[in-house]
Amino acid sequence: MTAPAPPKGTGPLARREARLAWGLLFPTIAAVSLVVVLPLLAIFWISFKPVELADLRPPAPVVREDLRGGPEVAGDEATIRYRLRNSSPDVPITGVTLTDTLPAGLEVVDLDERCSLDGRALFCDLGDWEGGFRDQVRLPVIVSADFLDAGIGPADSEPEMTGRADNILTNFEFTTENFARVFDGSEFWNVLWVTIFYTIFGTLGALTLGLFAAMLLNHSFRGQGLLRGLFLFPYVAPIIAVAFTWIILFDPFSGSANALLVQMGVTDTPINFFGQRPYALIMVTVFAMWSYFPLSFLFILARMQAIDTDMYEAADMDGASPFQKFWYLSIPQLMGILAVLFLLRFIWTFNKFDDIFLLTGGNAGTRTLTVNVYEQAFAISNIGAGAAVAVVIFCCLLLFSFLFFRYINQEEGL
């Protein structure tokens, strides 16, 4: 009677193959962890801490050393001065010590009571410092000829400071104050509404323009290659140059767009497109449509050219109109690529910062969540609040991705 065969995939060879596979995947996993996971965890960590821009540098004792008195000949008196301070205005530092090696040729006349001298090795026990602490340690010395002949100074041997301080970035004290500040009042909901408007209409507009551009260039004609290259210009052009071109073009005083509208009688006075509600939000949305439709155009055109033409010929024989062929034949074939483009374009537009910052700076009702992150973190130096807004952005995109994939799975029967 033979023993039963082990389950498939559990033998020694399968285990060795699994170890080899994990070994080959380890560099990728490590790279993803370093590039994606660790920064994301850091943002979550900081969002629960009252961190300001000054707190990014941990508290530390700082010392500056110089020689006072300007000695010129042997026997002159001078003073070695150590200027001390706490780098943090709020956080205390405990157990502060100063160590230094005095240059040869200096005879210490009077020693600070907090310090001791062993040969040329100086040690000072400076105790505990409160936030914003400042002090000085002065050592009167007599200069000898050896010191003057050597041409060195006290700064040639760097003093060392030690001390213990509570680092707000690494301790385990957390708070929800940042999130309370983010959700407090109606400001957040206004910013969220602007973000959703900008993202949805910017995404749908870019997809629609890309679809029509792909339909236009899905036929062979003279100059087709040149036109395809021109259609890529909004996407490949430097964003800062394009943004300032739009600002100049729609300037209320010298812009040609306003001059044309006034001459045509559309408006009596120039319109401040980027500085007046609701035109500013509409303009930045139109800018997003125009700037990013070439990406959709490329993918949709590639998918269109891969569709079998036989069914279009059969539809022509059945007397189908161009709209019927587009709606019942082209759209079902393009749904897959349109869904992927909508997901990617939605995420990228939701995270977009540079367009709005260059065009309006977030003013005139165009402040989105990403602009709010910048303002919280750098304009008012509240890193914790900026990280909290970033966490909100991540949660919104995570929720959108979950609903999107769940809908796609239900539609495809997966």
Looking at residue 1, what is its pLDDT?
A: 47
Do 139 and 236 fall within a single domain? no
- How do strand 77-86 and strand 115-118 relate by DSSP bridges? unpaired
135 & 211 share domain: no
pLDDT > 70 in the chain, percent: 94
Does 319 share its domain with 218?
yes
Omega of the bond leading into 252 within 30 degrees of 0 (cis):
no
- Domain extent at residue 146: 59-165
Q: What's this model's pTM, rounded to 2 decimal places?
A: 0.78
Residue 227's contacts (CB-CB under 8 Å, 6 or more residues apart) are 217
Average pLDDT rounded to a whole number, residues 325-354? 91
Q: Are residues 296 and 153 in the same domain?
A: no
Give residues with Cβ within 8 angstroms of 206, minimum separation 6.
Answer: 288, 289, 292, 293, 295, 296, 345, 349
Q: What angle do CA 133, 137, 143 make, to 5 degrees?
A: 155
Mean pLDDT of 157-178: 87
- Examine residue 396 and state whether it is found in any structural domain, yes or no: no
Residues 126 and 198 in one domain: no
Compute the distance between CA of residue 28 and CA of residue 9 in angstroms, rounded to an integer.
24
Q: Which amino acid is at 358?
A: L
Give the pLDDT confidence of 176-217 residue by residue, as tens digits.
889 988 888 678 889 999 999 999 999 999 999 999 999 988
Among 82-86, 163-167, 261-265, the range with the most confident prediction by mean pLDDT is 82-86
Question: Which residues neighbour 334 within 8 Å (Cβ) at sequence distance 6 or greater?
Answer: 211, 300, 303, 304
Looking up residue 66, the CATH number of its domain turns out to be 2.60.40.1170
Residue found by looking up tokens 């001059």 in the block: 259
Residues 138 and 244 in one domain: no
Do 194 and 283 lie in a common domain? yes
For residues 304 and 347, membership in a common domain is answered with yes
Query: What are phi and psi for residue 116, nearest 5 degrees?
Result: -135, 150
Q: In CATH, what number is assigned to the domain containing residue 257?
A: 1.10.3720.10
Q: How many domains does the chain fold into? A: 2
Nearest to 390 by CA among 374, 373, 366, 377: 373
d(CA 366, CA 190): 10
Contact status, residue 99 vs residue 160, Cβ threshold 8 Å: yes
State pLDDT tens for residues 106-141. Answer: 888 888 899 999 888 999 999 999 988 999 999 998
Residues 216 and 289 in one domain: yes
